[in-house]
Amino acid sequence: MINTQNNRVVGTIGVGDNPYEVAVDLPRARAYVTNANDNVSVINTNTNTVVATIPGFNVPLEVAVDPAHARAYVTNEGNNTVSAIDTDTNTVVATIPVGADPEGIAVDVPRARAYVANTDDDNVSVIDTTSDQTIGSPIPVGDGPFGVGVDPRNPRAYVTNFAGDTVSVINTVTNTVVATIPVSNPSEVAVDPARDRAYVTRFPDDTVTVINTRNNRVIRTIGVGNGPVGIAVF
C-alpha cells in the first residue's frame, strides 16, 4: 500500500499466488486482486485486510469494476471468458464467452458497457453490464490488442495494439473505431477525462506516451523506469 499524500509505502497485504491486477470499488471500499492460483482476493480498503477469496477462475488476468451495477469483471485467459462478480455478495454470478485470449478490460459506467481486448482475435468484445451478456459483433481493432481505457465524457475507449504499434479509438456510442494513433510498443492505457489525456505505457521503450483525447494526437513521451506496464489515473 502507498500513501498517496506522501508517496510512501505504508503496508503490505498478503493475497494469492503471483497477483496480477487490481481494481477498486470506491463506494463499497473494496479492492479486487487477480491471482495466478485461479482466485480473486477482496480487500477491505478501510481496514486493509483480505475479507474474501473468490474461487472459480481460469488464468485470471485483468479486472475492472462497475460500481453502479455492483459488478467486477475478470478476464480469464485460460478459457476465453469473462467472469462477473457481484460486488455485494462477492460471488461469481455469470461467465461470459468472449474472444480468444482476453486480456485488458475497462468499464464505461454511464453507458453500462465493458470493453474486452481479445488479443488473439484482434478485436474487442462489448458486454452489457446490466445483463452480463455480450452485445453486437466484436469490434475489429489493430494487431494484438492488450490494454483498454475508457473516457466516459467524450465518449471513447482507447485500445493498445501491442503487436501493431497503434492505439485504436472506439466511439462508445456507435462501437466503431474512429481513429488509429501510431504508438510503438503500447502496453496498458489509462484515461484522465478531466484533463483530456490518455497515458500509454510502452514496456520495451521504458516510456509513457501522452495522448490529447480531444484530437487523438500524441503530445509528449515521458521517460520512466524499466519495463513499465500498468498505469492508473486518480
Residue 234 has what pLDDT? 84
- Cα–Cα nearest to 82, from 100, 64, 97, 68: 97
Query: What cell numbers appear for 45 in the block?
Result: 480498503
What whole-number percentage of the chain has pLDDT above 70?
100
Across the range 147-159, mean pLDDT stands at 96
Confidence of residue 225 (pLDDT cuts 50, 70, 90): very high
Residue 121 has what pLDDT? 98
Query: What cell numbers appear for 108 in the block?
Result: 464505461
Map out the domains of the chain with their CATH numbers. 2-223 (2.130.10.10)
Query: Is the entire prediction scored with pTM above 0.85?
Result: yes
List pLDDT tens digits, range 190-205: 999 999 999 999 999 9
Position 68 pLDDT exceeds 90: yes
Confidence of residue 10 (pLDDT cuts 50, 70, 90): very high
- Cα–Cα nearest to 31, from 12, 10, 14, 48: 48
Q: What is the distance between the alpha carbons of residues 89 and 162, in angstroms, rounded to a whole number? A: 36
Residue 49 has what pLDDT? 97
Residue 205 has what pLDDT? 95
Confidence of residue 108 (pLDDT cuts 50, 70, 90): very high
**C-beta atoms surrounding 137 within 10 Å:** 10
Average pLDDT taken over every residue of the chain: 97
Residue 201 host element (H or E): strand 197-202
